[in-house]
């Protein structure tokens, strides 16, 4: 039987592959989280190169899709080399979510993901994202509307609950599974926490260990190193991990985790040559997808992260964020390579920025 046509989903202990409907992922897959203004095709390309097993688009407003808003439509752009890839939608109206799921179907992603996790006020105030956590019955109706409207597997990304007094993820997980969801990614914070404090994975583990739960459960929150990923894998038993903020400017996090899980040793940090090449690839993809003006402008935010650790970088960085052509930027990057040639990077902690205003889900 063609695996892509096989119904259902499983995490059969005798078969370590993780299945989301007809999508087959490797044992302990690493997922790139959908992040607004970050998880665009140029960024996804460098993450895919470095080992991301499943990726998602930036979240897309169901209302925007229906209105045919240019920005919403552009976020539907996906490419074959990205597969498997999911398109994430959000909204608080059942009819709008159902219709947007049909629109998503037309571009043929591998799955549809529903955002019930974004804590940003402008999203929550519209009764969408994490705002739905205050009305679980509505969450289930929205989910069922999407499931009934698409031929694709439907997954959900959410949080532990609205606040400390309403951490209802165990009930929510069962009801989402009953509604037809094929996998669930859980961020280990409430909406009230935004990204403050530490992510609590104990409730994620309770969901995973619930004998009623048959769908894959992915943990998310505060993973910023390969050793921590393995520690959480073994401690909480999740089927895989979703990486968000740690991948910003450091797409190598995926390959480092894979190596550490397999060999129990740290992979050497990316070399100067690798960092320069990723800068160039990201720049070219950004230029191609966004156009010369926006592509070059929006690339400026990434240089600091890609080149973190280099001493006396201020002058080079200042030039990179003021130049206006790809050729000029590549010239500076080549100068940097010659200037720092032979520099040995050391492992350093990845800083997880307070990103809630941009809503990483």
pLDDT tens for each residue of 206-245: 999 999 999 999 999 999 999 999 999 999 999 999 999 8
The predicted-structure confidence for 299-337, as pLDDT tens digits, reads as follows 998 998 899 899 999 999 999 999 999 999 999 999 999
- Of these residues, 9, 47, 118, 279, which one is catalytic? 118
Is residue 12 scored above 70 in pLDDT? no
Looking at the chain, how many residues does it have? 361
Hey, what domains does the chain have and what are their CATH numbers?
3-263 (3.20.20.70), 272-340 (1.10.1200)
277: CB partners within 8 A, 6+ apart: none
Residue 132 in tokens:
């739905």
Q: Record the tokens describing residue 128, joined without a space.
A: 């969408």
Q: Cα–Cα distance between 52 and 25 in angstroms, integer?
A: 11
Is 118 among the catalytic positions? yes
Average pLDDT, rounded, for the chain: 88
pLDDT in tens, 34-92: 988 889 999 999 999 999 999 999 888 888 888 877 778 888 999 999 999 999 998 88
How far, in whole angstroms, is CA 267 from its chain's centroid? 22
For 35, the 3-state DSSP assignment is strand
Contacts of 278 (CB under 8 A, 6+ apart): 46, 49, 251, 270, 306
| 126: pLDDT strictly greater than 70 | yes
Residue 25's φ and ψ, nearest 5 degrees, are -110, 155
Percent above pLDDT 70 for the chain: 89
**94 touches 122 (CB < 8 A):** no
Mean pLDDT (whole number) for 3-32: 71
Residue 258 C-beta-side C-alpha neighbours within 13 Å: 14
Distance separating alpha carbons of residues 167 and 159, to the nearest angstrom: 9
């Amino acid at each position: 039987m063609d695996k892509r046509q096989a119904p259902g989903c499983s995490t059969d202990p005798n078969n370590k592959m993780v299945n989301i409907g007809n999508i087959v992922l490797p044992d302990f897959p690493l997922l790139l989280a959908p992040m607004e203004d970050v998880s665009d095709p140029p960024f996804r390309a460098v993450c895919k190169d470095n080992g991301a097993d499943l990726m998602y688009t930036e979240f897309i407003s169901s209302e925007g899709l229906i209105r045919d808003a240019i920005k919403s439509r552009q976020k539907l752009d996906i490419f074959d080399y990205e597969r498997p890839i999911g398109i994430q939608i959000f909204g608080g109206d059942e009819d709008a979510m159902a219709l947007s799921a049909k629109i998503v179907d037309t571009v043929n992603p591998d799955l549809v993901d529903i955002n019930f996790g974004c804590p940003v006020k402008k999203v929550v105030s519209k009764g969408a994202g994490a705002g739905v956590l205050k009305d679980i019955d509505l969450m289930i109706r929205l989910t069922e509307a999407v499931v009934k409207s698409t031929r694709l597997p439907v997954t959900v990304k959410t949080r532990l609950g609205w606040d400390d007094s309403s951490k209802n993820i165990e009930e929510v997980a069962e009801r989402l599974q009953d509604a037809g969801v094929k996998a669930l990614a859980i961020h280990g914070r409430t909406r009230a926490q935004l990204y403050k404090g530490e992510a609590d994975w104990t409730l994620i583990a309770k969901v995973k260990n619930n004998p009623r739960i048959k769908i894959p459960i992915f943990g998310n929150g505060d993973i910023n190193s390969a050793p921590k990923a393995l520690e959480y894998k073994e401690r909480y038993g999740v089927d895989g991990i979703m990486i968000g903020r740690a991948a910003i400017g450091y797409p190598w996090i995926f390959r480092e985790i894979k190596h550490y899980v397999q060999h129990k040793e740290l992979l050497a940090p990316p070399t100067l040559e690798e960092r320069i090449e990723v800068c160039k690839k990201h720049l070219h993809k950004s230029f191609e997808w966004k156009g010369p003006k926006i592509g070059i402008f929006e690339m400026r935010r990434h240089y600091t992260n890609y080149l973190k650790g280099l001493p006396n970088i201020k002058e080079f960085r200042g030039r990179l964020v003021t130049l206006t052509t790809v050729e000029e930027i590549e010239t500076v990057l080549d100068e940097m390579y010659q200037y720092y040639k032979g520099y040995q990077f050391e492992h350093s902690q990845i800083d997880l920025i307070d990103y809630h205003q941009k809503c990483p889900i």
